[in-house]
Amino acid sequence: MTIKTLDELISDGVDNRYVLVRSDLNVPLDDGRVTDDGRIRASIPTLQLLVEHGAKVIVMAHLGRPKGKPDEKYNLRPAADRLDELAPFPVEFAEDVVGSSARDLAESLAAGSVLVLQNIRFDPRETSKDDAERQELARELSSLTGNSGAFVDDAFGAVHRRHASVYDIAEVLPAYEGNLVRSELEVLSRLTKDPAKPYVVVLGGSKVSDKLAVIENLMTRADYLLVGGGMVFTFLAAQGHKVGASLLEEDQIDTVKDYLARAKEAGCEFVLPTDIVVADKFAADAEHEVVAADSMEASRFGASGIGLDIGPASGAAFAERIRSGQTVFWNGPMGVFEFDAFAGGTRAVAQGLKECSGLTVVGGGDSAAAVRKLGFSDSDFSHISTGGGASLEYLEGKELPGIAVLDK
């Protein structure tokens, strides 16, 4: 059986019919204000298409990790309000997941309107490891759609989760793949199936342990693997260099040594920074200086220095390598981009992708937030993924439960 598409659902007819949509509204908030609405904007086309064809749309989404109970910090209303501001259709908001507010608003929902349910993770059954509990929530969600409801999964950022609103609901209602999920998979497949060469992979972020599986899977496909961020210090330590008080996963040093050796045999070149921005503390106003990557403790901060960004020479070298690529995938910032003094490396990488004529994919999560914070627009890149973790798991070669359940 092949996955049924949104176009097929539209063709079957959705006028005056309830459609339950899993969207990705998991956006960063600051004092109740959405600071990056990229995922909200990405969710609109699928919702709009359903609305234009007369559907009664009920949106399920999560925000953060509220531990299975209501938590005002993770209230989904700011995201729903932002959706209402951006979208050309009316948006209502339920104060609960499947309670009286959700039921009453769903029952009175007009055709061509959208109802957003409260944070789906406020219900502990959403993420339960007990199949029966998740299935119970899925049945209650489906009951909001009457006798002819359908389910559309348009939340790529959640397809790697076996959750009630992603997996179990697809076993209760006729299930379809949303256009956002479809486009994400089409782009990511180009990174694993005969990618155009040279293929450049740029990895950053704090921990190398988070990226081991994707390194394992891509180093036999990529021509160059550029490494920055906090994870680079484990690589430098694996080469025998001291890294001061920088983030270091000592238990991964032997693994990294093995990867460096195997990558060379596979014809993949690891490219590490030649200079590092070292600071006296982890703070926006920290004293800092640029030192050679192989002699970090030669900084004036000695063994207490903390590496918070790749240096300018490394940023320039990374950008040059990126510009030469025909396929470029980037996941993870090069430094603490939230602090202006340590955003240079991330900015250089983003600029390199912008100037590259090949396929350029920003792998969601912190990378997507970084490029927007640094003033780049979505159109500067071929694709900005809405799913950080989901993108990585796809590139690791893992089965994504939210996709597998649609193919039944």
128 in helix, strand or coil? coil
| Among 242, 257, 389, 398, the one annotated catalytic | 389
Strand ordering across the sheet containing 275-279:
288-292, 275-279, 306-310
Do 256 and 234 contact (CB within 8 A), yes or no? yes
- Catalytic site includes residue 388: no
315 is in an annotated binding site: no
33 is in an annotated binding site: no
- Catalytic site includes residue 22: no
- Catalytic site includes residue 305: no
366 is in an annotated binding site: yes
| Among 230, 311, 332, 365, the one annotated catalytic | 365
62 is in an annotated binding site: yes
161 is in an annotated binding site: yes
24 is in an annotated binding site: yes
Of 80, 71, 66, nearest in space to 117 by CA: 80
- Measured CA to CA, the distance from residue 12 to residue 319 in angstroms comes to 48
| Among 39, 82, 182, 347, the one annotated catalytic | 39
338 is in an annotated binding site: yes
What is the helix (H) or strand (E) element at residue 377, kind and residue range? none
- Measured CA to CA, the distance from residue 312 to residue 273 in angstroms comes to 9
26 is in an annotated binding site: yes
| Among 103, 207, 281, 398, the one annotated catalytic | 207
163 is in an annotated binding site: no
- DSSP strand pairing (288-292 vs 275-279): antiparallel
Please give the sequence-ordered ranges of beta strands (E in DSSP) within 35-145, or none if there are none: 56-60, 91-93, 113-116
DSSP 8-state secondary structure symbol assigned to residue 4: P
65 is in an annotated binding site: yes
352 is in an annotated binding site: no
101 is in an annotated binding site: no
Of 370, 375, 378, nearest in space to 345 by CA: 370
- Catalytic site includes residue 4: no
211 is in an annotated binding site: yes
375 is in an annotated binding site: no
The partner residues of 57 in beta bridges, in order of sequence, read 19, 114
**121-146 CB burial, b ≥16 within 10 A, e <16:** bbbebbbbeeeebbbebbebbbebbe
Please give the sequence-ordered ranges of beta strands (E in DSSP) within 317-385, or none if there are none: 327-331, 359-362, 383-384
> Is 193 buried (19+), middle (13-18) or exposed (0-12) by CB count in 10 A?
exposed
Annotated binding site for substrate, which residues?
A: 24-26, 39, 62-65, 121, 161
Annotated binding site for ATP, which residues?
A: 211, 307, 338, 364-367
**Active site positions, annotated:** 39, 207, 365, 389
